[in-house]
Each structure stands twice: as C-alpha cells, then as structure tokens.
Amino acid sequence: MIAVIFGRSGCPYCVRAKELAAKLTSDQDSFNYQYVDIQATGITKADLEARAGKPVTTVPQIFIDDRHIGGYTEFAAWTKENLGIEA
C-alpha cells in the first residue's frame, strides 16, 4: 500500500505525518509513502478538494491507495486501527 501525503513546508502536522509514514515504511514491508509539497507543485485547495471529494481546510491531506483518509489525526487513528501501530 502507498500513502500520498499532501502538505506544505512549515506545517508541524505535515512533519508528523511524514515521520509516521517513514516509521511505517521501515516497520511494514508492504507500506510506502510519497510526500507532495503543494506549494512547490502548485496544487491548490480546490485540487485537493476535487481529489478528496469533499471540502478540505487544512494540510496534510493523506490518501492511502487513493482513498482519502484525512489529516494527521485521522492518519494516526487509521494506522492504529488497521496496522496496530501507535503514532
């Protein structure tokens, strides 16, 4: 499975999401992630909303296998529920 994390520089929750994803990548053979800096790539809030299929107000926005998970808090809950790993 692959997680795609859309974030921006200077965002503490984006940093936490990347750290958690890196931990999962090292602990789980089947997990990998990609980080996308929305400012560097020109991705807009409207682009994220279109991809998520609903309004988004914050970053990071995280997708696992193209399924929208949410922000960092939802990602941490997802990892605990689905992989048994605490953030």
Residues acting as catalytic residues: 8, 10-11, 13-14, 18, 72
How far from chain centre, in Å, is Cα 55?
A: 16
The CA-atom distances, in angstroms, between 68 and each of 50, 51, 72 are: 11, 8, 12
Half-sphere exposure of 51 (CA within 13 A, CB side): 20
